[in-house]
Amino acid sequence: MTLTDTARTIFQRAMADCNVERAMARHVSARNAHLNIDDEDIDLGSMHRIRIASVGKAAHTMLPALWKYLPHEDVAGVLIAPQPPSPMPDGFQYFCGGHPVPNEASFAGARAALATARAAAEDPEHTLCLFLISGGASAMMELPLDPAITVAEAAAFHRALVASGAPIAEMNCVRKHFSAVKGGRLVLAAGSALCRSLLVSDVPASRRDSLGSGPTLPDPSTVKECREILARHRLLPQFPASVRRFFESDTLPETPKPGQLSARACTLLDSQDLALAAARQAEALGWTAVLDNTCDEWEYREATSYLLDRLRALRREYRQVCLISAGELSVPLPASGIGMGGRNQHFALYAATLLSPGDGAVGVLSAGSDGIDGNSPAAGAVVEAGITKDPILRELAMRALSSFDSHNFLSAQQATLTTGPTGNNVRDLRILLAEPNQ
């Protein structure tokens, strides 16, 4: 296999290893009217009803994966996902929430999720609430605390945040303080009902409260931190007037804090699972695998230089080395005038421009586990050293980078990686391969 073929194979096999249904089976079981979640036993015999809100890019795979462990009497809820499962369980309302910015269905789905939680609060002793949360939920389920803010204004707010280049935890701190369903407010609506969350995480393991902007977990961030983030990234002038007024209000409410919510959560999958799966697959193909997530949430240029330098150093130690890095990189965008692409293709193309003929046999893959990279139809890209060796191609590559149009350049070089939506979302994966220089 070529280096690009090898990188594609490692990515595809790692994704297959991180199957949501398999992950659910590792953490959830059921027997004799008891549901077990990570060794916590829940007696379903005392529960008259089960209510579920499943939200995010993996919501439509998480719901059927859980369904087999539940009794099917009086189980109902809300699904907010890119598409419905087939078949759609009875008793569920489906909403196709928008991403990366909310749409009308995001608002309607948020209202339905809140109604589901509030209904549980009416009979808390006999209702089990299960929340299935995955990446993408921040936009796919949205409802401003200020009811005067419209869908279009909320979309503009989200768009400005995404383009800011702020780390995901900072973006979600701002979102939590904006929303009626984030920062623990969704689970707060369920009152004293027994609530448990199952997570497919696209955030750092230490910041689970950032997943989907934490609708079911207490929020350690504060209004003061939120305002500091807004000021540092100069975001307020980019927001619609109604959103600016909301954040500038002296009465901006605080989110529920640790100690105010009794929320328990089980992480089914995260980016470390994907990185470890990729390492296993690389080693099965005869490569020495090295994991390095140091550059998680770095700006893409700094991260690219770091990973290529690390690969060059490792190449001096190992004959065939595969450097694996999970997490997400920051690519600040201009307010307008961008082409087609996403952070993974942008990273791969920038890496290609930094590789010199002296680097020899090197391959670089970067892809999103959700199968969607930015505003393009690709999940990411895979490039080899030499792809921009021709002066004309190099000039075109530099233009593509400057106009944030990586997809069209890479597509012309048959270097894009297209999977379609995967029904999963555990952040991005970078795979860098190096063989000995001849």
In tens, the pLDDT along 190-237 reads 999 999 999 999 998 888 999 999 999 999 999 999 999 999 999 999
Of 226, 245, 269, which one is at a domain's C-terminal end? 269
CA dihedral 98, 103, 106, 109 (to 10 degrees): -120
Q: What backbone torsions phi and psi does residue 14 show, to the nearest 5 degrees?
A: -65, -40
The number of domains in the chain is 2
Question: Do residues 240 and 312 share a domain?
Answer: no
Of 269, 300, 324, which one is at a domain's C-terminal end? 269
Taking only Cα atoms into account, the Rg of the chain, rounded to an integer number of angstroms, comes to 22
Question: The domain containing residue 215 runs over which residues?
Answer: 32-269
Beta carbons within 8 Å of 436's beta carbon, 6+ residues apart = 315, 319, 320, 360, 361
Question: Do residues 189 and 325 share a domain?
Answer: no
Q: Residue 279 is part of a domain; what is its CATH number?
A: 3.40.1480.10
As a whole number, mean pLDDT of residues 162-183 equals 93
State the pLDDT confidence band at 50, using cuts at 50, 70 and 90: very high
Is 438 a residue whose pLDDT tops 70? no
Question: Do residues 276 and 263 share a domain?
Answer: no
Q: Residue 220 is part of a domain; what is its CATH number?
A: 3.40.50.10180
Assigned domain for 18 exists: no
Q: What does the alpha-carbon distance between residue 211 and residue 136 come to, in Å, rounded to a whole number?
A: 8
Start-end of H helices in 123-150: 137-140
As a whole number, mean pLDDT of residues 68-95 equals 93
In the prediction, which pLDDT does 157 show?
98
In the prediction, which pLDDT does 258 show?
87
In the prediction, which pLDDT does 261 show?
85
Question: Do residues 203 and 351 share a domain?
Answer: no
Is 265 a residue whose pLDDT tops 90? yes
Question: Do residues 263 and 276 share a domain?
Answer: no
